Amino acid sequence: MAVNVSEITESNFQSTVLGSDKPFLVDFWATWCGPCLAIAPHVEAIANEMTGKLGVGKVNIDDHPGIAGQFGVRSIPTLILFKGGKPVDQIVGAVPRAKLEEMVKRHS
C-alpha cells in the first residue's frame, strides 16, 4: 500500500472514511483484477498530490465483502468519493487519470 493510501477494513471504515473531515476516495479492488492493478498508480498519484485535501483508501473486496455490498459494488474497480460521510460520486472501471481528477475536483 502506498504511503498516502490507507487500507480500509470493516473495522476502520466508519472512522476513516465516513468520519473524515475532508473528501475521501475509496478504491474497491482485488488482487486478481487486472483493471484494478492498471488504475492503482493513478489512485496513488492523486493521493500523493492531494495530501491534506483528500483522503484515499483501498478496500480489498475479497477480504471485506461487507463494505462492497453496503455500497452496491458489483464490478471492480469501483471508486466512490465520500463527502460528509455520504457517497457523492462514483466511477466504475479503469478510466484515465484525468477522469478521476475531474471527479475529485467536482467535490473538493
Coil, strand or helix at 81: strand
Helix (H) or strand (E) holding 102: helix 97-106
Place of cell 475532508: 22
Could you list the active site residues?
Answer: 33, 36
Give CA 75 to chain center in angstroms: 14
H or E element in which residue 94 lies: none
What's the CA gap between 39 and 69, in Å, rounded? Answer: 21
